[in-house]
Each structure stands twice: as C-alpha cells, then as structure tokens.
Amino acid sequence: MIREPVTGAWLDIGPVGQISPGHARTLPVAGGPDESREIAVFHTLEGRFYALVNTCPHKAGPLSQGLVHGHVVTCPLHNWNISLKTGEAQGEDRGCVPVIPLKVDAGRIYLLRAAVLGENRRAA
Amino acid sequence: MNAPLSFNERRSLAPMRERLVVIGNGMAGCRAVEEILARDPARYAITIFGAEPRVNYNRIMLSPVLAGEKAFDDIVINGEDWYANNAITLIAGDPVAAIDRASQSVIARSGRIEPYDRLLIATGSDPFIIPVPGAELAGVVTFRDLDDVEKMLKAAEGGGHAVVIGGGLLGLEAAHGLSLRGMAVTVIHLMPTLMERQLDEAAGWLLKSELEARGQTILTGADTAEIVGDAGHVCGVRLKDGREIAADIVVMAVGIRPATALARGAGLQVERGILVDDHMVTSDPAIMAVGECVQHRGACYGLVAPLWEMCRALADAATGEPSGYEGSVTSTKLKVSGIDLFSAGDFSGGEGAEDIVLRDAARGVYKRVIVRDDRLVGAVLYGDTGDGAWYFDLLKKGEDIAPIREALIFGQAFASGGAQLDPSAAVAALSDDAEICGCNGVSKGKVIACIAGGAHSLDAVRGGCKASASCGSCTGLVETLLQLTLGEEVQSGPKSLCKCTSFTHADVRRLIVEKGLKVIPQVMQALGWSTPDGCASCRPALNYYLLCAWPGDYVDDQQSRFVNERLHANIQKDGTYSVVPRMWGGLTTPDELRAIADAADKYGARTVKVTGGQRIDLFGIHKEDLPAIWADLNAAGMVSGHAYGKALRTVKTCVGSEWCRFGTQDSTGLGVRIERMTWGSWMPHKFKIAVSGCPRNCAEATIKDFGVVCVDSGYELHVGGNGGIKVRVTDLLCKVATEEEALDVCAAFIQLYREQAWYLERTAPWIERVGLDHVKSALFDDPDAIASLAARFRFSQGFMQDDPWAQRAAGADAELHQHLAEVRPFPTQAILEAAE
C-alpha cells in the first residue's frame, strides 16, 4: 500500500483509451530483477486506473485476466479477490501483491519507473 | 462598496502603491482582486489583462446562455463601472505575450510593457483538442468562452446535426443547449459511462437513458478516428469502428488543460499546472497564481468552488495576513434542467470503504453514499439530489456519522429525526392503510394480516398477498414488517443470487422478461442491486440471462465474462492457454490433423492431448498467439470447440452402423448433425452430448447432459447425466422413431434448460431440483411445446453460430490479446516500446 507521497520518474505507457473499462492489459518488463516480470494495468467500470504486479499471491495466477468489479479483481485461477488499491487479498484469504503507483494525466497513463522495474524494494 | 476615487486621487495615490498586474480577466483573476480590495482597497494599483475583448463574466453560466435560459448581460459579474470605481486599468483584447521576471514587467501582444511589483497569473485553462485529422476544420469549436457560444448559436440557426465529442459535464451541457436550440445532437463519449469521473456505472446509465428519451443520440465507448470535412468545413465524424455521423458543427468538449505556457516561458516551476504553495505563491516570490492554471499539493481543479477558496487564501497573503489554502473537496451538479444529479468526493471505494445504496426503480432514483471509518467520503445521487448539500457538508466537515449510519441513505430529514433513527421505526409508524407494494396495491394492514396468517418468510408473504412479488422494490419494507411482527421468528427465504441482491435466480430471470430489462445496469437499477456494479458472481449470471432472454438484441458484455469465455481458450495454471478445435462428432481428417500438428509446432504447444470429448487439446499457448493459431486452424476449416465455455462442448459418438457389426443406426452421422445444430449456444453451464449406436453404449451417452442411445426401432433420448464429482446416470426422457424427431427433442430440451435453469447449474442438479416430471410436462403436455421451444432455440442459434475464433483472427478485440507495451530497462534508463 502506498503511504508516502510518490516521487520519481514516471513512464508514459500510452493513452487511457487503450484499456476498456472492466478490462486490464499487461506490460512485460524484460531484464528486471525477476525473470518474466509482468505488470497488469486495470481500468475499472468506474473509470479508475490501477496497476499491480500481474501475479496472484495465491498460486501466481495472471490477475490481468480476472473479472474486475468495484475496485477488486477476481483471480481467474481460484477466485481470490485482490484489492486493486492495496494489492491485498480480500475476505478470508491472506496475501498481498505489489501495487505499482499510477497516475493519469491529460489522457495518458503513467507508472512509477522504479516500481515498474522492481527497484523500489532495493531502495527501501 | 468602495467609494469612487476621483482622477486626482488616483494620480496622487498611484506612485505610493505597489503595482499589482493580473493576467486573466476571468473568474479567478477578478475574484482575487475583489477579495484583495475587500481587505485593503488602497494597497495596490491594479492592472488587469484580459484576452477576451469584454468585461468579466461568469463562465460557468455559459451553459444557460447556450440553452437560451440567460442572456450575456445576466452573467456579467463586474461591469465597466466596477473597474472605474476601483481604479482598475482593464486591458481587454490585448493578451500578455511574455513575462520578464528580471525587469519585473509583462509584455503584451501589442508591444505594451507593464511593470509590476506583484504579478498574479490567472490564465485559467485551455480546452483540450484531441489530435485527430480534421480537428482544424471550420465548424469545429470548443466550449470555453462567449465566442464559442456565439459560434454554436449561429450554427444552430440552421438546425441540422451537431456532434459533441466528450460526454463529461461540459459536453453534456453543450449537447443540452444545442438540442434545445433545435439541432439533432449526437454525443460521442470514449468511455462506456457518461461523466465517468463523477458518476458510477449505475447513475451513468440512468443519465444516458434520460438524455436518450429527450431525443439525443448517446454513443458511449465510441472513439473518434477523424473529423470529416467538405470544402474546408466539417460535415461529419468518423469513428474508429467505421461508423460515420453527419455533423454541421462539432463541439470538442473532452477536457481542459491548465494554461501554463506563459509561466513555463518565464521559467516558473510547472508540472501539470503552475506549482503554488498554500498562499498561492509560485516558485518566484513576486508572482502568485490562482484558479484552474495552478497545481496545489498535486491537485488541479476545474470547478468553481475551489477557486473561491484559493482566492481567499491569496488575498489574505497578499494583504499581509496569510491564512493558507489546504485544498478542496469538490462536488458536481449537472446544469441540465430537469435532470437531478449530484456527485461529491471519492466514490471509487477502497480500503475499508463501504457502500450504502438505495434504489427506487419507480421514481428513477439512485443514491449511493460511501463511508470509511465512520466518515462520509463520497456520494452519488441521481433523481433525488435534495440531500446533496447535506451529504457534502458531512463530507467536508468529516463528521462522525456512526450515530446516524443506519438512516444516512434516507437523507437529512430522516437521519436527523431524533427518535426515528432506526429506519424500522418509520415503517412501524406507517398507518395500516399506507401502501407498501405499489405494483399490486397492497397496504401495510394487508401485509401484517398475511404475516399473522402464517406467512413467516418473504416468499410466503409474496405468495400470500402479492406484496413485493412484482418489481420487488418494496422488498426492504416487507422484510422490515416481517421483522417488526415476528422478531426472531422470521424464516430466511431461498438463497439469493448473490450478496448484491435479495432476489433469487428464479426471480431475476422472471423479472428480466416481465419488465423487459435489456442491459445489466438496467437490471441492477430496476431490481435494487445493493452494489454499484455487481460482483464476480452476478455479472456473468446477468449477462447469460439477458443473452438468453433477448437473442439477437442483447450485446454480450465482455466485462462480465470469465477469462476463458473472454479469450475463447482455457486458462492453465501457468497463465498460458489450451486450444481445442471442434471435431464434428469426433470425426477428423488427415488434413485437419496435419494443420493441428503444424500449429502445435509453430506455437510451441508443450503438450498435445486427446480429450475425453474426442478431440485434440493443444497446451501452453500464449494469449498473444491465440488469434494467430486460430487463423491457422480456421484456414484448415476448423472452428472453435468451445471447450472453455458455459456452452455446448462436444457431441461424442461411436462409429455406428457404418462400420460396427453391432450398430443399429448411423450414430456418427446423427452426432455430426446434432453438433452442427447445437454448436455455439451459450448455456447456464457446460453441456455435453453423446450418441451411441447400440445399447452397448460405447459413447457413454448415459452420463451426458443429453444422450442418444440408438436401438433397432429408433432412438432412446436420455437427459441429466453427469460424469463429474457426483456421477449421475441419465433419466430416460422418451423414445422417438426418426433422426428429425431426435433433433427436435434435443433442441427443445436444451432451450428449456437454457430458459429455466440457474446460472452455473448443470442439467443433473437442475432436474433433481425441478423433477423429471416437470421437464416431461413442459415438453410433452402441450403438443406444440417441442416445436415452439425448438424454434426459439434455432432462432437464438442464428445469432450464436458465428465462430468467435474467426472474429478474433480477423482482428476483433485485438487489445485483449496484446500487451499494452513492453519495458526494456537499460542501466541508466528504461526504454518503452509500443506493442505495435
């Protein structure tokens, strides 16, 4: 969960129109600290955008392929509900996936570069 | 207010005063000056530059001017006398071209130089023009100032077609005005929900319905590709999906951007807006900024209320008594007469946030308040905004709402009613002849009598006196009456569809048809859903129920589909997919097998397996490769096997009389015919069929949803089998003599299941729930039942039998398969490459 003000360089990943509401799309990150790291960028039915590492804390299911409702995505593999705001599993399930700070400006989506590259953990 | 100064007084005072130059004669600039004058009228010699050649007017009232409800004179805030009386020099129509911070002066376009001691930048914002071909054509206007309004009014004189790009606050107000002026208006909105920044899906849908009822055409999810011109003037708008809309005028109202060019040119710190501190001072202590052009604590504002608060803080600081601005909470009302709509705060939910939703379908009311930690954090009201101001006040003050939480959604009159804090008290206080159920005209007295007569559950009351048995919007009232009358003895009713509603699957299915509900938000509104956009349980169910009820009419909602049905393949534990092409009746050819083998090589299928349904499954395919592998399989004549769907899966067969020495009928041929008839149909759950050529039953037809066992004299038709967790052998439904009859009964049985079962209910539990007798009676009591059910199935199939793989291979929904972009980090920087 983001508690501190977010600063640093932002990556422009393109216009908001690329993701229909209720859907998510993916952003593979090559050569980072994790092999095959992927970011999922979500657009909720209420028009909000969020980004998470695309890996369910349960069995690593691709959250980008889940059903989005409210500010929650339901993992396609075993129906865990993950909060798009905090990355935390909802209800009885326990687990958390990193949130990638995201902002929308003038119709474009920006992700915090350090978080995309997985550098935030090293810095912390 | 301030006594007029004579010319001589002005002359004599001027040199002693600090020179304040204001760039921007709009609402922010003038309000700031008013606030300063109110505190210390003698402190500054003031010069205001305005780009428009007119006095200061109320920009937010341009919408009523466009709609013909007000004239320009009505919206002037400060006339010429105000400038004169306060010794303000107004330089209108000569905009500032540059700021020279070194010499502390501004340079106007005409070359005029004006020195300052303090400078105030109030340049506001510029309309955002989407960069599409044709945006520069004559007849493409924005909606920002009086010139724009005049252009629109002129265009409206000739009637014709107007297209408004942008379904936000401004766009809808422009559309309303043009519509009242007699133009045929089409609103094009990129997002699926109008005013998505202020409204949730439910309220957005109500708004869209109302505007459509007023004759506007609202196209949501519509992306503009090009503005089409003829001889330099706009004549239409073309969308990315190819649709073209005629237009005599195009209003671009997609949003605003802080106007920061001057500040940027002067080297001030600028991000999205001009950065200011809590006293509205920029990175240069001699320069202040206020209004829509600034960015304060990370936020930019496009509404008027924050602007007033900023101006107060600015004036306090500029007159030596700094107070500080701490940011604003904003609320929105749409200025379209007859539409009541209010939105404030944060309605995106979030950690610890809880929704309270009240819907009144009969009155078209939708109210939603969002509560976190006993504080109100957001509100969306449609149809009844009477309590908007009260909610906004609670929200701004951050008041503890715990004591009034139960009654909060009912509004101020109710929540503040002291003794009536408990909503059930209000119900208890109703008189016996008060109407509870409007649909069936049932009074409170009748409901109480019904309960007293032994109806101890909601269902029993519905059955007994019809209260809440129709639209169900009084369900809450009836439940309260049960509670009041019986206390602990209320029996809980049948399980509801999900936590978002108190209706059962059966209720929802019936009401969709009875009330003619056509889209998901409409169902949620009419049936009083308690969440704004449903959950992972109800969305797929509603999507199926609507698809089944309105074949050919309902547009499938991809956002309500599980991943397998959205991507037309089966997701596996590692996030890759498996692909199963259809093999009609389990038959294949060498050419098909070669194409499958080639596809397995080409797309790296790590496992190739023969399925239980007599076809071949290719595992380990990446979502990006799906359209390509489908194109290859399509080219060899194969289509989707729907191995991933709540749909007809396969028709398993044995070889039958063509080869088998025991075969009694052509079971393979019949299997192919059945699969050709049933493929592509969406069902409450997956559906498997088999045809065996003799009672040895090699195709295992007696554990399928529909099984045919051929015998010498014809065909035995079996239903409700299941080979899953709980094995269930089929029940014999009937015996028929011909293939044609077998096909008709199959189609009719499937349609009965499609129309009556609950979502995610296989045929086996469905038949156990309703009983085989019910199924037989529905199929055979009326001699026309088979024919009419089969006809409904075939009608629906006319829309379903369109290979989804071929659509995707041809490029449909490409974004579902492609990455957004790729990040490739290098030691010092990250390079971003677009996927295409």
Q: Which residue of B has its CA nearest to A77?
A: B573
Question: Is A27's CB within 8 Å of B535's CB?
Answer: no
Q: How far is A124 from chain B (nearest CA, A)?
A: 19
Label residues B667-705 b or e (16+ Cβ within 10 Å = b): bbbbbbbbbebbbbbbbbbbbbbbbbbbeebbbbbbbbb
Give span(s): CATH 3.50.50.60, chain B: 7-125+258-318, 140-254
Show the CA angle centred on residue B381, arms to residues B477 and B555, nearest 5°. 90
CA gap B565, B34 in Å, rounded: 61
- Other CB atoms within 10 Å distance of the CB of residue B545: 26
The enclosing H or E element of B230 equals: strand B224-230
CB B46 within 8 A of CB B86: yes
Q: Confirm or reject contact between B510 and chain A (CB < 8 A).
A: no
Q: How close A93 comes to chain B (CA, Å)?
A: 15
The CATH class, in words, for B648-800 is alpha beta
The C-alpha angle A101, A103, A104, rounded to 5 degrees, equals 155
- Are the C-beta atoms of B91 and B107 separated by less than 8 Å? no
CA dihedral A92, A97, A98, A104 (to 10 degrees): -80
**DSSP label of B693:** S
pLDDT of amino acid A122:
42
- Residue pair B751/B789 in contact by the 8 Å Cβ criterion: yes
Residue B825, min C-alpha distance to chain A (Å): 6
Contact A26, A14 (CB under 8 A): no
**How many A/B residue pairs have CB atoms within 8 Å?**
153
Which pair of structure tokens corresponds to residue B361? 């379908």
Distances from the Cα of B764 to the Cα of A65, B682, B686, B727, B729, angstroms: 30, 17, 12, 9, 9
Homologous superfamily of the B140-254 domain (CATH): FAD/NAD(P)-binding domain (3.50.50.60)
Which among B193, B532, B825 is the nearest to A32, CB-wise?
Answer: B825
Q: What does the pLDDT read at residue B620?
A: 95
Q: How many CB atoms lie within 10 A of CB B414?
A: 18
Strand, helix or coil at B443? strand
Q: To the nearest whole angstrom, how far is the Cα of A13 from the nearest Cα of chain B?
A: 7
Q: Do B823 and A85 touch (CB under 8 A)?
A: no
pLDDT at B473: 62
Q: Is B559 in Cβ contact with A21 (below 8 Å)?
A: yes
Asked whether the beta carbons of B565 and B543 are under 8 A apart, the reply is no
As beta bridge partners, residue B281 has B288
B563: nearest CB among A21, A28, A65 = A65
Report how far residue A50's alpha carbon sits from residue A44's, in angstroms, rounded to the nearest whole number.
8
Mean pLDDT by 10 residues, chain B (836 residues): 48 68 92 92 93 83 84 85 91 92 94 94 90 90 89 88 91 91 92 85 88 91 91 92 92 90 94 93 94 90 84 92 86 76 77 80 83 88 83 85 82 62 66 73 85 83 77 74 81 78 89 93 89 90 96 92 93 93 96 96 95 95 94 95 96 94 94 97 96 95 96 96 90 96 97 96 94 95 95 95 92 86 62 49
**Which amino acid type is present at position B493?**
G
- Return the CATH architecture of domain B340-421: 2-Layer Sandwich (3.30)
Q: Which residue of B has its CA nearest to A47?
A: B196
Distance from C-alpha of B122 to C-alpha of B29, rounded to nearest angstrom:
5
In angstroms, the separation between the Cα of residue B566 and the nearest Cα of chain A is 9
A67 and B560 within 8 Å at the Cβ level: the answer is: yes
Q: How far apart are the C-alpha atoms of B305 and B310, rounded to whole Å?
A: 9
Strand partners, A109: A104
Contact B128 A1 (CB under 8 A): no
- Alpha-carbon distances, residue B62 vs B87, B173, B779 (angstroms): 28, 9, 64
Kindly identify which residue of chain A lies nearest to residue B813, measuring between CA atoms: A20
Q: B597: which residues sit within 8 A by CB, 6+ positions away?
A: none
Q: Residue B539: closest CA among chain A residues belongs to which residue?
A: A69
d(CA B365, CA B385): 9
CB neighbours of residue B462 within 10 Å: 22
Tally of residues, chain B: 836
| Domain B7-125+258-318 sits in CATH 3.40.50.300 | no
pLDDT under 50 in chain A at which residues?
1-5, 121-124
State the Cα torsion A112-A118-A120-A122 to the nearest 10°: -160
Q: Which candidate, B390, B372, B373, places its Cα nearest to that of B381?
A: B390
B327 Cβ under 8 Å from any chain A Cβ: no
CB contact (8 A) between residue A20 and residue B257: no
B825 touches chain A (CB under 8 A): yes
Q: How many helices (H) does chain B have, and how many strands (E)? A: 28, 40
Domain positions in chain A are 20-101
B378, B380, B381, B387 alpha-carbon torsion, rounded to 10°: 10
How many of the other CB atoms lie within 10 Å of CB of B803? 18
Can you count the helices (H) and strands (E) in chain A? 2, 9
B259: closest CA of chain A, how far (Å): 13
CA nearest B609: which of B594, B622, B596, B592? B596
CATH classification number, A20-101, choose in 3.40.50.2000, 1.10.10.10, 1.10.1740.10, 2.102.10.10: 2.102.10.10
CB B382 within 8 A of CB B343: no
Q: Please give the Cα distance from B258 to B256 (Å, whole number).
A: 7
The angle, 0 to 180 degrees and rounded to 10, between the axes of the packed helices B772-780 and B739-756 is 120
What's the CA gap between B362 and B438, in Å, rounded?
A: 9
Of B193, B564, B573, the CB nearest to A59: B573
B155-194 pLDDT, tens digit each? 888 888 999 999 988 899 899 989 988 899 999 998 888 9
Between chains, do B255 and A105 touch, taking CB under 8 Å as contact?
Answer: no
* Buried/exposed B190-207: b ≥16 CB within 10 Å, e otherwise: bbbbbbbbbbbbbbbbbb
For residue A105, what are its two tokens?
Answer: 């400006």
- Selecting from A17, A22, A41 the residue whose C-beta is nearest the C-beta of B559 gives A22
pLDDT at B637: 94
Nearest CB partner across the interface for A46, out of B347, B562, B571: B347
Cα B666 to Cα B214, B658, B713, B714: the distances in Å are: 60, 6, 13, 11
At B53 the pLDDT is 83
Cβ-defined contact of B532 to A79 (cutoff 8 Å)? no
Chain B interface, best mutation among A67, A96, A120, by max B CB count within 10 A: A67
B201 and A CB contact within 8 Å: yes
Residues of chain B with CATH 1.10.10.1100: 427-557
Assign domain B427-557 to its CATH superfamily: BFD-like [2Fe-2S]-binding domain (1.10.10.1100)
pLDDT digits (tens, 9 = 90+) for B355-410: 888 887 777 788 888 888 888 888 889 888 878 878 888 888 888 888 888 788 88
